[in-house]
Copies of this chain bind each other. A is one copy, B any other.
Amino acid sequence: MQTDPERMLRDLADLRRIGAVGTGVVRPAFSETDIAARHWLAERMREAGLTPGFDPIGNLFGLPPGEAPCLLLGSHSDTQPQGGWLDGAYGVIAALEVARAAREAGGPGIAVVSFQDEEGRFGGLTGSSVWSGALSLAEADAMTDTGGVALADARAAMADVAGGFVDPARFTGFVEMHIEQGPVLDQAGEAIGVVEAIAGLRQLDIRLSGQQNHAGTTPMRLRRDAMQGLIGFATRLNVVLEPLATPATVWTIGHVQVEPNAASIVPGMVRFTVQWRDAEAARLERMEAATRDTAAEVAGERGLGLEISDFPPLSPVALDPGLCAHLAAAAEHCVPGRWRRMVSGALHDATNVARLMPTAMLFVPSIGGISHSFAEDTAEADLIAGVEVLAEAARRITAA
C-alpha cells in the first residue's frame, strides 16, 4: 500500500474548516460542528470503500468489506471548547489515509474509528468508555455538560443515524496515532514516539488549617500560618519525591485556595491539589505514601489541622509489547534514529480499547508542546512522517 501525503493533508485541512475559529477549531461532542464533521468523515469512509456506521453513543466506525477480523486505526474528531486542529483529528485522518491506501492496494482490510466525546464535554473518553463496557449507556446518558445539558438529550440529535454497537471481536488490535501534546519530541528534534504505556494518575486534595490572625499583631512565633504550611510541605515534597521519580514521572500543585486570602491576614486555611503521574503502579503507590507522610509531618510540626481527600485513581495502562515492537520497527524503517519509546502522560481512548484487544499508540511532535489551544500545531513534514510510519506499521502488523 502507498499512502498519499497530499491527499491526507487536504483531508486534514477540510476537516479543520468544520468549526474553524481562527487557527483553532470549536467542535465539542454532539455540537452542530461535531455532527457535521462526523457526517463528512462518514462520506470520506464511504469514498474509500469502507462502510460507515454510527453507534448509539456517536462513535463512527468505517469497516472494510468482509467479516474477517481486521486491524482498527483511529482516534477522535471532537475537540476541546477551544481546541487545536490536530488533537484527535490527525489520528482519524491518518487512519483514513492508511485504510484508503490499503483498499487501493487490494488489502489488507483496515478499519477506522472516530470515538465520541474524548475531550469530555460530558465525561471524558466517553465514547470509548461506553464501547469498551467501562461505562453503561445509562450512566453516560445521565452525565451533563457545564451548561446542564444531559448527554441523553445531546445524542438525540444523532438518533436518526445511530445503529448498533460494533462488536469488538471484529478487530485484531488497535493503533491510535496522536499528537504528543507535550514538548519531549519537539525538544529532542525527533519525529515519532512509540508509546509503551499510558501513565496512571493519582491526586490528593489536601487541606491545612491553622489560625487566622491579624498580620500586624500576631508575632511569628505564635502563628499557625496555613500558607507557610503549604510552603514547607511543597518544599519537602520535592525533596522526598525526587529519588522516587524517573525522568518521566511528574507531580504538580496546580490548584491552590487560600482563606481568607487577604494581604493583612495570616492565612487560616489553605487547600490544594497534589497530582502525580507515572507508568508504574508501584511507583504511584510509593509516591502516595511519601506525599501523605510529608503532609502529616509538616502539619504535626506546625500544629496545623490536616484533611486529605482521595481523587479516584487512574491505573497506568501498559500497551501491547508485540504491537509496540512493530511500531518501533516501522519508526526505525521510516525515520531511522529519529524516534523514541515513551510514556504518554495524557489519557487517550487507547486506555479503554486496551481492555478489549492488543493496543498501541504513536506520537508525532507538538510544536512547543502546545495543545488544547488555538496555537496547537505540528510541522507538515512530521505529519507526513507520521502517516508513513503508521502505514508501515499496519503493513507489518497485518503481515505478521
Binding site for B on A (CB under 8 A): 180-184, 187, 199, 201, 203, 213-222, 225, 227-228, 230-232, 234-235, 238, 245, 247-258, 261-267, 273, 275, 277, 311, 344-347, 369, 371-372
* Distance between Cα atoms of A238 and B230 in the complex (Å): 14
Q: Are B256 and A258 in contact (CB under 8 A)?
A: yes
> Given known contacts A231-B235, A252-B266, is B261 in contact with A181 (CB within 8 Å)?
no
Which residues of chain B have C-beta atoms less than 8 A from A217's C-beta? 180-184, 344-346, 369, 371
CB neighbours (8 Å) of A273 from chain B are 263
Q: Are B275 and A264 in touch, CB under 8 angstroms?
A: yes
Once the chains are docked, how many angstroms separate the CA of A88 from the CA of B160? 73
The complex places the Cα of A249 from the Cα of B220 at a distance, in Å, of 8
Closest to A179 in B: B217
Distance to closest chain B CB from A54 (angstroms): 30
| Contacts known (A182-B214, A255-B262, A346-B217); A369 close to B267, Cβ less than 8 A | no
The answer to whether A220 and B254 touch (CB under 8 A), given A203-B263, A231-B231, is no
Contact partner, A250, options B218, B261, B263, Cβ 8 Å: B218
Are A254 and B265 touching (Cβ within 8 A)?
yes
- Please state the number of chain copies in the assembly: 2
Give A264 Cβ to nearest chain B Cβ, in Å: 6
Measured CB to CB, the nearest residue on chain B to A260 is B254
CA distance A255 to B217 in the complex (A): 17
* 10 A-B pairs with least C-beta separation: A182-B217, A216-B345, A263-B273, A215-B252, A217-B345, A231-B234, A216-B346, A254-B263, A256-B258, A235-B235
Name A267's closest neighbour in chain B (CB-CB).
B254
Smallest distance from the beta carbon of A188 to chain B beta carbons, Å? 11
Interface pair B261/A255, CB less than 8 Å apart: yes
Do A216 and B231 touch across chains, with their CB atoms under 8 A apart? no
Expressed in whole angstroms, the minimum distance between the Cβ of A233 and any Cβ of chain B is 9
Bound CA span A126–B227, Å: 32
Residues in B with CB closer than 8 Å to A230 are 231
